[in-house]
């Protein structure tokens, strides 16, 4: 795997294990895109793939030439203002009012390894041999500005990462009001676009649409990546399914406002781009300043959607997530939120902890309500001082009691927020995102702290660090429960107000970086009203995230299935909660709730002290099962088998197979019981065809090939589990 440059043809050929990505320096010194897809045998020139030609009704770049038009050529990082009329990758406003630019190839370097991105999360390497990087520098001599495009090809993954940086070397002010992280022009438009859309409590549902001429786009302007859209899209061929066919996935390593779009032009070329949402964005580049855009990860697969997802999973699990917890088996936790909400005291917490310990739980997490005067959600965010009326011995006292029971202790924070009713807001009303001449809208009775300000980030860091230093805390749940409105900062001048949303996210990243560096042993879990900010940016700091506030087993099938399109199952917090479920009032069995939650970072979120003996016994067994299999579940290869999104789907199934294929755990779920049902079977994937496997609870053995082609007959082998509505079965396979 390597990156080749041919001096004669001026072409770059980036080669992954199964991918080629080819572009060239054009006659006008812009970069032209040639090809992205299945790996091609290298040759000196691929020029014939992009040949220039005459077309009527076109503008041309050079006097006397009626062939060379950017409208007819696929481009690498397109500009607007000359002969291409499609949406560009960037726009720079100059002091004379012009937005026309002309960035010409200047030089490039190719080196082993991958550099860190300044102040932004990004994939990384642990040894230089793991990746090769290409940096191409382009220069606009009229405005004395540089554009740096960086590409990294990983040895082990069919992934190419890209990022973009602008540098103002001149002495005029430039305004960057559009800066995509990557743009790719494809030969044709015979694709379907996949996106992960939803809302609070139904995050990341898979949506699929056929490309049509014009722009199709998803975005967020909420100040976070959001539950409404996720910073990811994929283009798949119409015949591609989970198991076969071509697909291209792009995922932005960013947690703020983003935009992802595909523009299909009049010659059926599809231009895909992704980056910071240009809507309401502007960045002032003063003389000498630079702007670094977030990283994009591009994955190509000819092994269907599962092939694409497995590359994202492996790359994100091992080379985006960081820290001690990256490779460590995650603790089985219990969280008191749905058990007590704000109504708890030390005794109640200790009781739940004591009971949980008996059942095998390893970590107790104290959620919202432990600080200030927070007995409901109207007050105290920002006042990170323990409420002694609930916890007379402080966090340290409680944490020690929990530790003495033999459990680890975790604590909830919502660092980016302040309640209107709080000491912090009283003292610093200008520390919130606001416009002084406008009213401030509230969300959950709270305001967003202005993390674009260093003093605000420093203050919150100080409070959190003090608590983490003092108490034996081994886990932090970092919540964030409202979107941004009336966006403005008291600290920034008028011409930088449209930088606030991006500066805010940089402030969040900075706080995460400082805390994870200072407390490397602490496991961080990100959260935003459940999964309203579940994105690759967060995964860089927190190896797991709270997938959704919706803990209903049936709803979770769609949420976890959709989330797995990009994110590894080790990153998905998944808890068993009480019934009737608090979000949808549905009643499902304890078995089905666990059978869904096993495929994630497993835990409980209910009052175990209220369970009867039989339930406790069942929970004990569930925890034991998860502990025995969590290495495999958290680090194995995940295959989606049957989609809950298929029209009228009544069944969902998936399997996770160990790296060496000697073990696997599969989950099968049936929504409604079927009267007089026909034959049912589940067809597994990812096993070794000639290994013989035993399946727990079944006396016969099966070869991998039979299980992957004929499947397992469910009516024969799982009939008892699959009775009634919302039933499910788990199959543990072991090589004999």
In the complex, the residues that contact ligand DGJ under the rule CB under 6 A are: 337, 367-368, 412, 479, 481, 527, 529-530, 546, 549
d(CA 323, CA 523): 9
By beta-carbon proximity to ligand DGJ, the closer residue of 242 and 368 is: 368
Asked if 688 contacts 664 with a C-beta cutoff of 8 angstroms, the reply is: no
Measured from the CB atom, the residue of 481 and 485 that comes closer to ligand DGJ is: 481
- Which residue, judged by CB position, is nearest to ligand DGJ in the bound state? 368
Q: How far apart are alpha carbons 572 and 531 in whole angstroms? A: 9
Active-site residue list: 479, 549
Q: How far is the CB of 592 from ligand DGJ (least distance, A)?
A: 21
Of 225 and 292, which has the nearer Cβ to ligand DGJ? 225
Backbone angles phi, psi at 97, to 5 degrees: 90, -5
CB of 419 to ligand DGJ, least distance (A): 12
Sheet containing 663-670: give its strands across.
Answer: 637-642, 651-657, 663-670, 727-735, 692-695, 698-703
CB of 533 to ligand DGJ, least distance (A): 10
Q: Which residues pair with 463 in a beta bridge?
A: none
Tell me the closest approach of the beta carbon of residue 341 to ligand DGJ, in angstroms.
Answer: 8
Minimum Å gap between C-beta 530 and ligand DGJ is 4
- State how far the Cα of 282 lies from the Cα of 92, in Å rounded to an integer: 10
To the nearest whole angstrom, how small is the minimum distance from the Cβ of residue 473 to ligand DGJ? 16
Residue 72 structure tokens: 């007819």
β-partners of residue 545 are 526, 572
- Rg for the chain, CA atoms, rounded: 27
Comparing C-alpha atoms, which of 67, 74, 69, 72 is closest to residue 21? Answer: 74
Write the CB contacts of 705 (distance below 8 Å, at least 6 apart in sequence): 689, 690
- Contact criterion met (CB below 8 Å) for 520 and 506: no
Residue closer to ligand DGJ, measured from CB, 412 or 654: 412
Of 340, 365, 669, nearest in space to 544 by CA: 365
d(CA 445, CA 418): 9
Q: How far is the CB of 548 from ligand DGJ (least distance, A)?
A: 8
Phi, psi of 63 (to 5 degrees): -55, 130
CA angle 275/281/287 to nearest 5° reads 95
Phi, psi of 732 (to 5 degrees): -105, 120
Give CA–CA dist 134/113, Å, rounded: 10
CB of 481 to ligand DGJ, least distance (A): 5
Q: CB under 8 Å to 5, separation ≥6 — which residues?
A: 11, 12, 13, 108, 110
User: Residues 651-660, buried b or exposed e (16+ Cβ, 10 A)?
Assistant: bbbbbbbbee
| Pick 418 or 655: Cβ nearer ligand DGJ | 418
Give the sign of the dihedral formed by CA 688, CA 694, CA 695, CA 701.
Answer: positive
Shortest spacing between CB 409 and ligand DGJ, in angstroms: 16
Q: Which of 709, 576, 704, 711 is nearest to 653 (CA)?
A: 711
Is the Cβ of residue 145 or residue 532 nearer to ligand DGJ in the bound state? 532
* Cα→Cα distances 496→167, 176, 280, 412, 454, Å: 17, 11, 11, 33, 15
Pick between residue 84 and residue 367 the one whose CB is nearest to ligand DGJ.
367
CB of 450 to ligand DGJ, least distance (A): 21
Widest Cα–Cα separation across the chain:
88
Written as one string, the DSSP assignment of 128-142 is GGGEEEEEEEEEETT
d(CA 590, CA 91): 55
Please state the closest distance from residue 364 (CB atom) to ligand DGJ, in A. Answer: 14
CB-nearer residue toward ligand DGJ: 546 or 726: 546
Nearest CA-CA partner of 216 in 224, 208, 227, 206: 208
Q: Which residue has the tokens 């800066």?
A: 179
227/260 with CB nearer ligand DGJ: 227
Residue whose tokens read 């805010």: 504
User: Looking at beta carbons only, is 412 or 684 nearer to ligand DGJ?
Assistant: 412
Q: Which is nearer to ligand DGJ, 322 or 420 (CB)?
A: 420
Judged by CB, which is closer to ligand DGJ: 337, or 384? Answer: 337
Distance CA 651, CA 640 (A): 12
Is 241 in contact with 639 (CB distance < 8 Å)?
A: no
In this structure, are strands 408-413 and 417-419 parallel, antiparallel, or unpaired? unpaired
Q: How far apart are CA 191 and CA 262, in angstroms?
A: 10
- What residue has token string 């992960």? 196
CB of 479 to ligand DGJ, least distance (A): 5
């Amino acid at each position: 795997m390597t990156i080749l440059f041919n001096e004669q043809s001026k072409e770059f050929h980036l080669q992954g294990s199964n991918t080629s990505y080819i572009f060239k320096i054009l006659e006008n010194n812009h970069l032209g895109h040639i090809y992205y897809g299945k790996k091609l045998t290298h040759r000196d020139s691929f020029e014939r793939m992009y040949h220039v030609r005459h077309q009527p009704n076109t503008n041309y770049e050079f006097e006397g030439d009626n062939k060379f038009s950017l409208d007819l050529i696929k481009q690498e990082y397109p500009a607007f203002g000359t002969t291409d009329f499609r949406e560009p990758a960037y726009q720079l406003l100059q002091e004379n009012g012009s937005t026309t630019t002309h960035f010409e190839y200047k030089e490039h370097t190719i080196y082993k390894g991958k550099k860190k991105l300044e102040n932004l999360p990004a994939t990384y390497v642990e040894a230089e041999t793991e990746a090769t990087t290409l940096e191409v520098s382009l220069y606009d001599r009229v405005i004395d500005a540089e554009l740096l495009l960086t590409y990294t090809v990983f040895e082990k993954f069919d992934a190419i990462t890209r990022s973009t940086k602008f540098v103002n070397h001149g002495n005029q002010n430039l305004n960057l009001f559009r800066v995509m992280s990557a743009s790719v022009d494809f030969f044709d438009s015979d694709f379907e676009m996949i996106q992960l859309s939803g809302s609070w409590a139904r995050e990341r549902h898979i949506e699929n649409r056929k490309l049509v001429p014009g722009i199709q786009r998803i975005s967020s302007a909420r100040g976070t990546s959001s539950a409404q859209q996720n910073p990811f899209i994929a283009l798949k061929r119409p015949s591609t399914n989970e198991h076969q066919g071509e697909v291209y996935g792009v995922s932005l390593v960013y947690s703020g406002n983003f935009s992802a779009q595909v523009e299909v032009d009049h010659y059926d070329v599809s231009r895909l781009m992704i980056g910071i949402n240009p809507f309401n964005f502007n960045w002032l580049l003063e003389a000498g300043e630079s702007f670094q855009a977030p990283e994009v990860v591009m994955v190509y697969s000819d092994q269907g959607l599962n092939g694409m997802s497995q590359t994202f999973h492996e790359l994100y699990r091992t080379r985006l997530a960081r820290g001690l917890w990256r490779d460590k088996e995650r603790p089985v936790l219990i969280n008191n939120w749905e058990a007590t909400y704000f109504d708890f005291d030390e005794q109640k917490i200790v009781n739940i902890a004591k009971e949980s310990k008996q059942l095998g739980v390893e970590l107790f997490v104290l959620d919202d309500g432990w600080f200030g005067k927070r007995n409901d959600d109207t007050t105290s965010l920002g006042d990170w001082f323990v409420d002694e009326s609930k916890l007379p011995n402080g966090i340290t006292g409680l944490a020690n009691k929990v530790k003495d029971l033999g459990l680890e202790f975790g604590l909830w924070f919502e660092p980016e927020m302040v309640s209107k009713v709080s000491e912090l807001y009283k003292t610093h009303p200008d520390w919130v995102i606001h416009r002084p001449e406008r009213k401030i809208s509230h969300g959950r009775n709270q305001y967003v702290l202005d993390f674009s300000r260093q003093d605000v980030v420093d203050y919150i860091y100080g409070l959190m660090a003090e608590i983490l230093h003092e108490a034996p805390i081994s886990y932090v749940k970092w919540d964030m429960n409202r979107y941004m409105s009336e966006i403005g900062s008291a600290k920034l001048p008028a011409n930088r107000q449209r930088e606030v949303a991006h500066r805010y996210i940089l402030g969040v990243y900075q706080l995460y970086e400082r805390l994870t560096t200072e407390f490397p042993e602490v496991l961080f879990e990100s959260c935003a009203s459940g999964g309203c900010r579940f994105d690759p940016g967060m995964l860089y700091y927190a190896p797991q995230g709270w997938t959704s506030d919706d803990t209903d087993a049936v709803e979770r099938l769609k949420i976890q299935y959709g989330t797995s399109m990009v994110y590894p199952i080790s990153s998905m917090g998944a808890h068993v909660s009480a019934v009737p479920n608090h979000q949808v009032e549905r009643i499902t069995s304890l078995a089905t709730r666990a059978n869904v939650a096993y495929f994630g970072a497993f835990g409980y979120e209910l009052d175990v002290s209220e369970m009867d003996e039989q339930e406790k016994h069942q929970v004990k067994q569930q925890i034991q099962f998860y502990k025995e299999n969590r290495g495999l579940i958290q680090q194995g290869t995940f295959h989606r088998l049957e989609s809950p999104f298929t029209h009228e789907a009544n069944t969902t199934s998936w399997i996770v197979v160990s790296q060496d294929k000697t073990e696997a755990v599969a989950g099968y779920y049936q929504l409604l019981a079927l009267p007089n049902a026909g034959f049912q079977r589940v067809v597994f994937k990812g096993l070794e065809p000639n290994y013989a496997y035993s399946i727990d609870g079944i006396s016969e053995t099966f070869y991998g090939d039979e299980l992957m082609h004929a499947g397992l007959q469910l009516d024969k082998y799982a009939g008892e589990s699959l009775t009634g509505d919302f039933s499910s079965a788990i199959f543990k396979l072991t090589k004999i």
